[in-house]
Structure 1
Amino acid sequence: MVSTEPARVRTRVRIPLRFGDGFTADAEAVTFHGLADSGEHLALVLGEPEPGTVPLVRIHSECLTGDVFGSARCDCGPQLQEAVARISEIGGYLLYLRQEGRGIGLYNKLDAYALQDEGLDTYAANTALGLPEDGRDYTPAAQMLTALGAEKIDLLTNNPDKAEQLIARGIGIRETISTGVFATDCNLRYLRSKVEHTGHKITLTDLAS
């Protein structure tokens, strides 16, 4: 097991959420002291997770282009809204991690986009820049969940690496639940590379090739 030092809650504050299509949700934003990478990661408490129950959790990595500007090159924006809606219904946590571009940063992500326009897939583009295919470390997520008292969860993800890292850091996974598939003409090659390269649980059989 990977050693994970404890973190503690720093601030809790209510934030009403509103998305571009008019969808709204109430959230409690939670910040933390003592996260392993000193990042300003955020937990959103959605719905009413009851003590002793298993909460639904989504770990969402920051994506400025998709979350804020609605870029169709990825599925991050729709996944974020879907997660807020689904978690709000039953109670749980959305962990918003400041790990832009799978941990390589915004400028490097855009450099990788330029290489993708030349024909590389998302993983090959990262390595062509001398960067990891996926540099994300979910130690802060495990710390945040522990500080919130959520040591066993249902995890909303298509990415097997998230579950594997959380389990290695002491978080129990009762069930892994797939997100929806948000395919566009602009992101289909990106989604297919996630399926073929890292085993994401995304069903693309009904989509155009």
Structure 2
Amino acid sequence: MTESDGVLVDSVRPSGVERVVEVRLATMHGEFLAIGYLDRESGDEQMVLVYGDIERDGALTRVHSECLTGDVFGSKHCECGDQLSAALHTIVTEGRGILVYLQGHEGRGIGLLGKLRAMKLQAEGLDTVEANLALGFPADARDYRVAADILHDLGVQSVRLLSNNPLKSEALLRYGIKIAEPVPLLIPPREENMAYLWTKRERLDHFLPHLDGAADG
């Protein structure tokens, strides 16, 4: 185990990712170390933001699926952009932590065009799960192998995971990343995404207790 710029490097475990570049990145939330990875299996380019010195055990971590509509354009259809900002703020406030930003996860793994087609079906009355299934996709097609490989490369063995999704925790555990503690990332719902959030809670088992008592949009 070696250390570079505050980042623990696992030099023992074989990895499916290649660390390509490291550079300091100033953001509106604070200055992070941006690390670029190449996924050797898929060819996808991935990035992780590291703040402060990484903890091997119990590192505060957000594994964030890319969402062009939410992260970039501020779509009110989902809470992704708000979760991304909240996670970065939480990490900086704590003084250390990791955000893994996963390419290839758009629309819970069905791609941008598939996601837009699913959104059109939702506008016609289907919920987000029904829309994916109607298009011939799984309800959730994401895989978290690359996220686990990146965390292993950083020397992380267990995480305090910023997530409301139990399937994400289970997936990381299958790839050898222990969950020291789930840390909910609850965003106040909007009228535009209330039905979407209820579907995530009732059909995808997301931990969203703050919806209790909220008006069903």
Same fold (TM over 0.5): yes
1:52 Cα deviation after fit: 4.3
Which sections of structure 1, spanning at least 5 residues, go unmatched?
19-23
- Answering whether residue 19 of structure 2 is matched by residue 9 of structure 1, we say yes
Q: Normalization by structure 2: what TM-score?
A: 0.88
> Relative to structure 1, is the Cα distance of residues 189 and 196 closer, same or farther in structure 2, using a 3 angstrom cutoff?
same
1:68 Cα deviation after fit: 0.6
Q: Aligned pair count?
A: 200
In the alignment, what sits opposite 2:43? 38
Q: Normalization by structure 1: what TM-score?
A: 0.91
Please report the RMSD computed on the Cα atoms of aligned residues, expressed in angstroms: 1.5
1:37 Cα deviation after fit: 2.7
- Which of 188, 202, 205 lines up with 1:199 in the alignment? 205
1:189 Cα deviation after fit: 0.3
What are the within-5 Å matches in structure 2 for residues 172-191 of structure 1? 172-191=178-197
- Greater mean deviation of Cα atoms: 156-165 or 174-183: 174-183
In the alignment, what sits opposite 1:154? 160
> Relative to structure 1, is the Cα distance of residues 5 and 138 closer, same or farther in structure 2, using a 3 angstrom cutoff?
farther
Deviations 1:81-130 (A, max 9, x none): 00001112221110100111111111110100110011100011011011
Deviations 1:158-180 (A, max 9, x none): 00011000001111111001002
Deviations 1:45-77 (A, max 9, x none): 12x134545210001101111111111000001
Q: Is the partner of 2:45 in helix, strand or coil?
A: coil
Contact 2:161 2:183 in 1 (8 A): yes
Which sections of structure 2, spanning at least 5 residues, go unmatched?
1-12
> Relative to structure 1, is the Cα distance of residues 163 and 36 closer, same or farther in structure 2, using a 3 angstrom cutoff?
farther
- Partner amino acid for 2:42? D
- Answering whether residue 71 of structure 2 is matched by residue 67 of structure 1, we say yes
